[in-house]
Structure 1
Amino acid sequence: MTNFKKATFAGGCFWCMVKPFDQWDGVHAVISGYTGGHVENPTYEQVKTGQTGHYEAVEITYDPTIITFDEILEVYWRQIDPTDAGGQFQDRGDQYRTAIFYHDEEQKEIASNSKQTLENSGKFTKPIVTEILPVATFFPAEEYHQDFYKKSEKEYKEDRAKSGRDEFIAENWQ
């Protein structure tokens, strides 16, 4: 029996955060959901108002003997603009901010070191504002949000295309 671990990240719209992780060997599941807020069992309609304190996030279950937290973290950084404190791309508001939610002290240390390395790299002229926070209760989003890129491929592609995310990734991460 494998001892799976979890990683939780907020990177703007959770629709765009599932596919990049879902494609890796060792990733068992990627769940869209909400974390970090003050409302129990929030709905998408509540979270999108920005009033619940939640982040849209993904919870990744992975096999650390196949893919490490460091590797998953590297995938994460390459999906976001870590300098934007007001949301991500076309999605604005606190619910779309970036954050790494650590599950243990080892993840906290790895995330902190990774953020510091990125800050020191000179890749960005603005400060890295992605927060590193203790994991909070994760509430899975409604079923229609799960694996959205597979279930609603046309809408996913249209939304992603107009977001500006892919242009940012191409310009800054590749």
Structure 2
Amino acid sequence: MTQLEKATFAGGCFWCMVKPFDQYEGVVSVLSGYTGGELKNPTYRQVCQGDTGHTEAVEITFCPDKISYEQLLDIFWQQIDPTDDNGQFADRGDSYRPVIFYHNQAQQHAAIASKQRLEQSQRFTQPIKVAIEQATSFYPAEHEHQNFYQKQPAHYNRYRQLSGRADFIIKHWHDK
């Protein structure tokens, strides 16, 4: 029996990072939460204030026999502006910065190689600024933030469109 693995990605507001992964076979769960900070069990309000050191992220539990970590990396890149390290779209600041949080050395190497491939592709004219950092404690977000795209589809779709994320993805990833 295959052992499940974890992947953790930050790409701005975690509301917009769940659905892209949730639709793939082999993805067991996608959990919204906070990571990278010092405060234990932070709240949404505390993280949004920007003084906890946490980043909004998603923790993905996946079956590597059905979807590889490299495939998850490809999905990740297609959800963000990898040239913006000061937040994503309408969300600004460190709590919204894009980060690949690796859980082991194999993930670290895959993340670095994936970033290098994106840089070499020249898909973007600006440098790729996504951080690659070791995963630390992950704290699940409050219940109302989990699977937000399912609970509040109109709000989710409006936010995704008005933030600039939807148009950016279409512009830069229309061929994928």
TM exceeds 0.5?
Answer: yes
Work out whether 1:47 is the aligned partner of 2:47. yes
Please say if 1:143 is aligned against 2:143. yes
1:44 positional shift: 0.1
State the partner residue of 2:14. Answer: 14
**How many residues are aligned here?**
174
Whole-Å Cα distance in 2 between the matches of residues 18 and 126 of structure 1?
26
Q: Deviations over 1:82-132 (max 9, x none)?
A: 000110000111100000000000000000001011111111111111000
Runs of 4+ in structure 1 over 2 Å off? none
User: Percent same amino acid among aligned pairs?
Assistant: 56
Cα offset, 1:2, TM superposition: 3.4
Partner of 1:129: 129
1: CA distance, partners of 2:91 / 2:85: 12
**Counterpart of 1:90?**
90
SS in 1 for 2:49: coil
CA deviation profile, 1:34-71 (whole Å, cap 9, x unmatched):
00011111000000011111100000000000000000
Q: What's 2:74 paired with?
A: 74
Match of 2:168, SS state, is helix
- 1:168 matched residue in structure 2: 168
Which TM-score applies when normalising by structure 1? 0.98
Following the alignment from structure 1 to structure 2, what is the Cα–Cα distance between the partners of residues 161 and 73?
Answer: 23
In structure 2, the gaps of 5 or more residues are: none
Q: Which residue is equivalent to 1:64?
A: 64
Question: What is the SS of the residue equivalent to 1:48?
Answer: helix
The aligned runs of 1:108-119 (5 Å cut-off) are: 108-119=108-119
1:157 maps to: 157
Q: Aligned letter for 1:115?
A: K
Secondary structure of 1:6's match?
strand
AA of the residue aligned to 1:17:
M
Please list the CA deviations of residues 116-149 of structure 1 after superposition, one character each: whole Å capped at 9, or x if unmatched: 1111111111111100000010000000000000
What's the counterpart of residue 38 of structure 2? 38
Partner of 1:29: 29
Looking at structure 2, the residues matched to 61 and 35 of structure 1 have their Cα atoms a distance apart, in angstroms, of 16
Q: Separation in 1 of the partners of 2:142 and 2:130?
A: 26
The 2-side partners of 1:124 and 1:36 are apart by 27
